[in-house]
Amino acid sequence: MHQKKTMYALIDCNNFYASCERAFNPSLIGKPIVVLSNNDGCVVARSNESKALGIGMGQPIFQVMDIVKQHDVKVFSSNYVLYGDMSHRVMRTLSRFAPDIEIYSIDEAFLNFSGFQGSSLELHAKHMRQSVFRNTGIPVSVGIAATKTLAKIGNRIAKKQNQWGGVRLLDTPEAIALSLEQTPIGDVWGIGRKYSYRLEQQGVKTAADFVRKPDDWVHKTMTINGLRTKWELQGRPCIALEDVLPAKKTICTSRSFHSPIEQIEGLKEMVSEFAARCALKLRQQKTSCAIISVFVRTNPFSKTDKQYRNSAYVTLPTPSNDTMTLVKQANRALEHIFQPGFRYKKTGVIVGSIVPNDFIQTSLFETPDLSKTKSLMAALDKCNAKYGRSAVRTAVQSGTIRKLTHKKKLTPCYTTRWDDLMEVRC
DNA sequence: TCTGGGGTCCTAGGACCC
DNA sequence: TCTGGGGTCCTAGGACCC
């Protein structure tokens, strides 16, 4: 029987956050745009025009203010409600073009493109690309190959080299070899800053140099992950499509503050809010946690502040996703590590030892009324979904994280009526 | 003055058990 | 008066991703 070769497509939205802003404001087309992180601190997205001006990814905005002023760069605070909604629309369109989809991040997805061949594969991808643009106004690039790592490489080339019309298919040894020569080692999926520095010291400048290194050397210097990356570059699939979203093993909610917090009361407000959001995320994936961990830290960039960082955790006798329980225990952990006399810049709550709700064994020493808290939480989620994320909350929650974060250049949420920026009383 | 947030996986080393 | 060796679990640290 003829076995068709597995092919993966990687679809990546071009300059996603910048493209979202542009989709609702056509006057921005052709202009340099940047989108900032929380607190308007760092650049987290740039349009091509901004990249060309030399504005770096992750660069603090104050470092590039000269460029911004000189070239009239349009600056936006990040609007995650808008981007999340646009992402849904893109993914919905993509899922019509293949049987299996793995939503890899807010702006990327892998599709199973097996069953097409050669030019029909390319046509299918081009058709898909046009559909996404027509439906959402977001331009995307597509890379297609026999492994996910090669599909990533194809995608990068589709984005950089205009002659491919936004779709690069790597299905011949010649096309693969050429693309490996054209890919700097640091641009390979799975090879980050540390490894690429070390590899470059060894004369490995490109993906092509990398695949020439012996397996045992790669394994020794870069663990099994590095070896998998090498094999994937050689066309041997080691990373499967994960079309079923696995439940998260840890969940973290944290923020930096625009201005530091010195009193424990202020930190308690934030920690309570974060614990409540972790509880909600747990309920959404139908799980509970047994460990609640809280961390605090001062501003590591400050040359004058005394530095302090610490974390503590509480173990629950029975796993829970109950807001009251998590808020209470998170505050207990905070009390353990809080030290007066510091200017705290960031705090967060991490929940771990996550188990599916059906697997919870109740502790011998405690008989919580599970059904009661369950229906209370269900009612709470329903109310918050209807009236805004923090409409109903525990007494100590701050209600809106925005109070202590900072967004000056926010555009409207064009696509959603209720969002987390709204404060509504219930 | 101003520096994001949320995840995963692998390995080494120590504790502990038989 | 000799001081093994293998397995498992946990944790911290380091690497990576977007």
DSSP structure string for A277-322 = HHHHHHHHTTEEEEEEEEEEEE-TT-SSSPP-EEEEEEEEEEEE--
Per-residue model confidence (pLDDT) at position A55: 94
* CA of A393, C1' of B13: distance in angstroms: 44
Per-residue model confidence (pLDDT) at position A326: 95
Sign of dihedral through CA atoms A131, A134, A135, A138? positive
Per-residue model confidence (pLDDT) at position A423: 27
Per-residue model confidence (pLDDT) at position A119: 78
The answer to whether residue A387 scores a pLDDT higher than 80 is no
The answer to which of A19-23, A63-67, A272-276, A404-408 has the lowest mean pLDDT is A404-408
Kindly indicate the confidence band of residue A370, based on its pLDDT and cuts at 50, 70 and 90.
low
A44 Cβ contacts chain B strand, under 7 Å:
yes
Q: Give the model confidence (pLDDT) of A280-335 as tens digits.
A: 999 999 999 999 999 999 998 888 888 888 888 898 888 999 999 999 999 999 99
Instruction: List strand B contacts in A 190-229 (CB < 7 A).
Output: 223-225
Q: How many CB atoms lie within 10 A of CB A33?
A: 23
Q: Give the model confidence (pLDDT) of A353-363 as tens digits.
A: 998 998 876 66
Per-residue model confidence (pLDDT) at position A419: 37
Nearest DNA or RNA nucleotide to A192 (CA to C1'): C16
- What mean pLDDT comes out for the span A164-182? 97
Q: Classify residue A203 by burial, with Cβ atoms within 10 Å: 0-12, 13-18, 19+.
A: exposed
A195 Cβ contacts chain C strand, under 7 Å:
yes
Q: Residue A391: what residue type?
A: A
Angle of helix A323-337 relative to helix A264-284, nearest 10 degrees? 140
Residue with the larger pLDDT of the pair A125 and A413 = A125
- What mean pLDDT comes out for the span A366-373? 62
Q: Maximum distance among all alpha carbons in chain A?
A: 73
The answer to whether residue A147 scores a pLDDT higher than 80 is yes
Per-residue model confidence (pLDDT) at position A83: 95
Per-residue model confidence (pLDDT) at position A7: 95
Least Cα distance to A141 among A115, A113, A161 occurs for A161
Residue with the larger pLDDT of the pair A243 and A70 = A70
Q: Give the model confidence (pLDDT) of A156-168 as tens digits.
A: 999 999 999 999 9
Nearest DNA or RNA nucleotide to A252 (CA to C1'): B6
- Provide the 8-state DSSP code for A425: -
Non-local (6+) Cβ contacts of A74 within 8 A are A21, A28, A31, A32, A33, A34
Least Cα distance to A119 among A129, A127, A130, A109 occurs for A127
A301 Cβ contacts chain B strand, under 7 Å:
yes
> How far is Cα A239 from Cα A228, in angstroms, rounded to an integer?
8
Least Cα distance to A273 among A406, A134, A405 occurs for A405
Per-residue model confidence (pLDDT) at position A420: 36
Q: Residue A103: what residue type?
A: I
- Provide the 8-state DSSP code for A100: -
- What mean pLDDT comes out for the span A191-209? 95
Strand B nucleotides where any atom sits below 7 Å of a protein CB:
1-11
Is-contact A300 A346, C-beta < 8 A? Answer: no
Question: Whole-number mean pLDDT of chain A?
Answer: 88
Q: Give the model confidence (pLDDT) of A213-234 as tens digits.
A: 999 999 999 999 999 999 999 9
Per-residue model confidence (pLDDT) at position A347: 93
Angle of helix A16-23 relative to helix A80-94, nearest 10 degrees? 100
Sign of dihedral through CA atoms A148, A154, A156, A158? negative
The answer to whether residue A392 scores a pLDDT higher than 70 is no
Residue with the larger pLDDT of the pair A245 and A375 = A245
Per-residue model confidence (pLDDT) at position A422: 29
* CA of A87, C1' of B4: distance in angstroms: 20
- Provide the 8-state DSSP code for A182: T
- What mean pLDDT comes out for the span A180-196? 96
Strand C nucleotides where any atom sits below 7 Å of a protein CB:
14-18
| Strand, helix or coil for residue A239 | coil
Nearest DNA or RNA nucleotide to A190 (CA to C1'): C16
A376 Cβ contacts chain B strand, under 7 Å:
no
With vertex at residue A142, the alpha carbon angle to CA A137 and CA A145, rounded to the nearest 5 degrees, is 165
The answer to whether residue A81 scores a pLDDT higher than 50 is yes
> How far is Cα A275 from Cα A316, in angstroms, rounded to an integer?
14
Nearest DNA or RNA nucleotide to A311 (CA to C1'): C12
CA distances for A388 relative to A258, A272, A283, A391, angstroms: 24, 17, 17, 6
The answer to which of A68-77, A227-236, A386-395 has the lowest mean pLDDT is A386-395
Residue A156 region by backbone torsions, left for phi larger than 0, else alpha for psi between -120 and 50, else beta: alpha
Per-residue model confidence (pLDDT) at position A38: 86
Per-residue model confidence (pLDDT) at position A358: 85
Q: Classify residue A85 by burial, with Cβ atoms within 10 Å: 0-12, 13-18, 19+.
A: middle
A302 Cβ contacts chain B strand, under 7 Å:
yes
A350 Cβ contacts chain C strand, under 7 Å:
no
- What mean pLDDT comes out for the span A196-222? 94
- What mean pLDDT comes out for the span A362-374? 62
Is-contact A86 A413, C-beta < 8 A? Answer: no
